[in-house]
Amino acid sequence: MTIASDLIRGNTDTIILASLMKKDSYGYEINKDISAKTAGEYEFKEATLYTAFKRLEEGGFITSYWGEDNVTARRRYYSITERGKEEYIKLLNDWNKSKNMIEKLIDTGVIVNGE
Amino acid sequence: MENKLKAYVNNLFRDAPATAKAYEVKEEILQNLKDKYNDLVTEGKSKEEAYKIAVESIGDLSELFAELEKEITPDDSKRQKYLALRAVVAMIFVLAAVPVVMALSYRSVLINIMIAVILVAIGVILAIYNRTNKPGYTQISTQTDRMAEIERKRSIRKSVSGFLWLIILIMYFIISFQTHAWHLTWLIFLFGAAVECILDIWLGKAKK
């Protein structure tokens, strides 16, 4: 969990937008997907997730609504907006650019194939 | 164990601002924790272990609270004021029943009925005034909306005034016929004018 968690946290918004690109989802489901994709190595804290939701909603990148599918558990679903999709593309481009830059800056060839 | 989770989250949100949004976020987080807890138990974790993992996944809420704090808009304080005043109105109506009961069982019938009438009148005026401040869910942004708002307040102000004078007239006759002190009872109209002045200042301020 500690590995690179700061690096990941810097991309919280991108990760959330990315998981909403496919379909509307709620907090726990998004976190479960992230956990599954990282083989249980990473998961957002509730605090991080909801601070991000709030920020993204204020920015008009996502909207939310109460889902009516389940009677016992009322869940708030989040949905990406057109603006959110644009923002996602922009953030993804930013990430690709900085990824290449950082790689060039920090890779000295000391570690080859994990050795 | 679900109650234990609920108690834990409630305790964490003690320091959260008292807004509708904060309450919703709390409910959402609690629901997530319940889901997580149930999944963990299904996976074969012990109840204690599942509870511990769920609680640890909350993280530091201070940043979220700061975000929620930023959101305390005039609308929120307005909402709180609205609810508080509504409670006061309810209390006044309940209190008005006391002199009515007194009037039914004691000799000082007149004075008790008067008190009841005054209390009801105050209650109704407050209730009408409170309606003007009922917080809406949409923000008033355009000029036309603002004009409509002022117009609405003006019409409510008129109905409050009409009601006020009706009550005063009724009281004037009740008191006068009971006490026969016609040389004094006309003073009630001065009292009414004073109340109307106060109402003007009050509602005028609310208009901004």
Q: Is residue A112 part of a domain?
A: no
Nearest by CB to B64, which of A50, A73, A76?
A50
pLDDT (mean) for A72-86:
89
Across the interface, whether the CB atoms of A51 and B33 are under 8 A apart is answered no
Across the interface, whether the CB atoms of A74 and B27 are under 8 A apart is answered yes
Count how many domains chain A has.
1
pLDDT (mean) for A54-65:
93
To the nearest whole Å, the CA of A20 is away from the closest chain B CA by 17
- DSSP run (H or E) holding A92: helix A82-106
pLDDT of res. A71: 66
> What's the CA angle centered on B51, arms A71 and B41, to 5 degrees?
65
pLDDT of res. B192: 84
Low-confidence ranges of chain B (pLDDT < 70): 72-76, 106-107, 133, 135-146, 149, 202-208
Q: How far apart (Å, rounded) are the C-alpha atoms in residues B50 and B132?
A: 50
> Over the stretch A24-59, which tens digit does the pLDDT of each residue have?
999 999 999 999 999 988 889 999 999 999 999 999
pLDDT of res. B120: 87
Of B70, B93, B128, the one marking the end of a domain is: B70
Of B48, B70, B92, the one marking the end of a domain is: B70
pLDDT of res. B191: 84
Across the interface, whether the CB atoms of A46 and B32 are under 8 A apart is answered yes
pLDDT of res. B106: 66
Nearest by CB to A48, which of B35, B36, B59?
B59
Looking at chain A from residue 48 to 87, which residues have their Cβ under 8 Å from any Cβ of chain B?
A: 48, 50-51, 54-55, 73-76
The token pair at A75 is: 């869940």
pLDDT of res. B93: 84
Q: Is residue A115 part of a domain?
A: no
pLDDT of res. A46: 92
pLDDT level of residue A115 (50, 70, 90 thresholds): low
Contact B207, B153 (CB under 8 A): yes
Q: Which residues of A touch B36 (CB under 8 A)?
A: 28
List helix spans (H) across B43-73. Answer: 47-56, 62-70
Range of the domain at B11: 2-70
Phi, then psi, of A64 in degrees rounded to 5: -140, 160
Q: Is residue A60 part of a domain?
A: yes
Of B50, B70, B90, the one marking the end of a domain is: B70
If asked whether residues B112 and B195 sit together in one domain, one would say yes
If asked whether residues B147 and B201 sit together in one domain, one would say yes
Which residue do the tokens 């009841």 mark?
A: B116
Count how many domains chain B has.
2
Percent of chain A whose predicted confidence (pLDDT) is above 90: 63
Looking at chain B from residue 27 to 86, which residues have their Cβ under 8 Å from any Cβ of chain A?
A: 27-29, 31-36, 39, 57-61, 63-64, 67-68
Rounded to a whole number of angstroms, the distance between the first and last alpha carbons of chain B is: 51
User: How many of the other CB atoms lie within 10 Å of CB of B61?
Assistant: 23
Q: How far apart (Å, rounded) are the C-alpha atoms in residues B60 and B55?
A: 11
